[in-house]
Amino acid sequence: MPMSFNLSTKIKFRVRFNEADPLGIVWHGNYLKYFEDGRESFGEQYNLGYLDIHGKGYVVPIVNINCNFKKSLKFGESGIIETTFINSAAAKIIFEYKIYKHDSLELIAEGTTTQVFLDSKTNELQLCVPDFFEEWKIKSGIANK
């Protein structure tokens, strides 16, 4: 029986000049880059980074991504990206994201990504949860033995 808590990270970022359009508003595609920053932060904090996974013989491409925009960020403003691991019994990694404006904590955007496991040598889709991932969930308190 899975535990009832979620693993998550929060990181602060500042909107850079090259992330904004001519009106100074963050271009919508950059929110997916912020999601990537959140995944990298999560991986570093919880030992589930891309290189950790690759070292176990897998790659985890994104097969689904969605983003719902609520408000805009502008050049020079700061935001917070909250990344939460969503447990699944399937052989996939699901993250949920919430981006907030730093000073007011207004919700700017939210979304999800789904990644699947492929064998890094054959690119074969893994239908069963890899042993290392199940062990990671147990060690992290997400799943029981």
Q: Is 2 contained in some domain?
A: no
Q: Is 80 contained in some domain?
A: yes
CA distances from 67 to 18, 28, 33 (A): 21, 9, 12
Q: Order of strands across the sheet with 92-101?
A: 8-14, 78-86, 92-101, 107-116, 62-69
Domains contained in the chain, number: 1
Query: 72 is in which domain, residue-wise?
Result: 8-139
Tens of pLDDT, residue by residue, the chain (145 residues): 344 468 999 999 999 999 999 999 999 999 999 999 999 999 999 999 999 999 999 999 999 999 999 999 999 999 999 999 999 999 999 999 999 999 999 999 999 999 999 999 999 999 999 999 999 999 999 988 7
CATH number at residue 71: 3.10.129.10
Strand, coil or helix: 39:
helix
Q: Is 3 contained in some domain?
A: no
Global confidence as pTM: 0.93
